[in-house]
Amino acid sequence: MPDLDSLANEEFCYLTTRGRVTGHPHEIEIWFSIEGETLYMLSGGGDRADWVKNLRREPTVTVRISGEELKGKARLVEDAEEDGLARRLLVEKYERSPGSLSDWRQRALPVAVDLA
């Protein structure tokens, strides 16, 4: 596995899920943060987002960051402590002015990918 710390400062990652209807790969560009061997994302569309619906059906995903391709298993974050961690990490990384991401932070759905 590549050095995750060296990838953590990249602006975006590319998450590929398997389409729940078609079975075809579906890639999105999304903000992310890494803590240990877990990658966190927030779904602004909550559980209605297609990529979230896809990973709930098939949790095996691929994440590409700066040309590095990583395999992992996605899951919704359900633990309260981990939920807070995911939200804090993403807002700290992307908030350009205080409070600018407060709505997103509160309403978005935290998703984790445990990297292989």
What is the C-alpha to C-alpha distance for residues 112 and 87, in angstroms, rounded to an integer? 11
Q: Quick one: average pLDDT of 45-71?
A: 96
Q: Quick one: average pLDDT of 40-49?
A: 94
The pLDDT of residue 95: 81
CA 43, chain centre distance (Å): 8
- Answer yes or no: pTM beyond 0.75: yes
CATH 2.30.110.10, domain 4-115, yes or no: yes
The residue extents of the domains of the chain are 4-115
Q: Where are the alpha helices (DSSP H) in 1-116?
A: 4-7, 50-57, 80-94, 102-107
Residue 22 gets which letter from DSSP?
Answer: T
| SS3 category, 102 | helix
What is the C-alpha to C-alpha distance for residues 90 and 26, in angstroms, rounded to an integer? 23
